[in-house]
Copies of this chain bind each other. A is one copy, B any other.
Amino acid sequence: MSREITFGNYLQDKGLKGTQQRDEVADLFLKADRHFSVEELYRRVQKSDPRIGFSTVYRTLKLLVEAGLATERQFGDGFTRFEPVHREEHHDHLICIKCGKIVEFKDDRIEELQNGVAGKHNFRVTDHKLELYGYCNRCE
């Protein structure tokens, strides 16, 4: 029976300190189900504790990524986004270029074909990115 993967445990295992700021940022981030930009999360954090700085939000998000509790994404709008890893399933994204709506999907047949392509070119694939950009039904 292995220990639950929590932010607190991660910090302890790494010899890092638990702080109010880290807890606050991590809580607000993890309990939401969104693709946050740093700015967005910072604004939310400010509401519950205006003394927490931008740097700490940045730093905590990086720690969450290291802990495997967050994923970093680039959707091409110039802002890095982070999403909580709720289920540990890989997924890809459909992105509305008008309203920013993000839909997640996973298609095993696509993933399989990707592996086929990689194999044909003698690559060992460690990661991939599939993003479909367009207009959602509300924006169309």
Cβ–Cβ contact A117 & B94, under 8 A: yes
Further pairs besides A94-B117, A107-B113, A127-B134: 11, Cβ < 8 Å: A96-B123, A107-B116, A110-B114, A110-B117, A113-B113, A114-B132, A118-B132, A123-B132, A124-B134, A127-B133, A128-B132
A123 touches B117 (CB 8 A): no
Q: How many residues of A contact B (CB 8 A)?
A: 33
**Are B133 and A130 in contact, CB atoms less than 8 angstroms apart?**
no
Interface flag for A38 (CB, 8 Å): no
Closest 4 CB pairs between A and B?
A122-B137, A125-B134, A127-B133, A126-B134
B107 touches A123 (CB 8 A): no
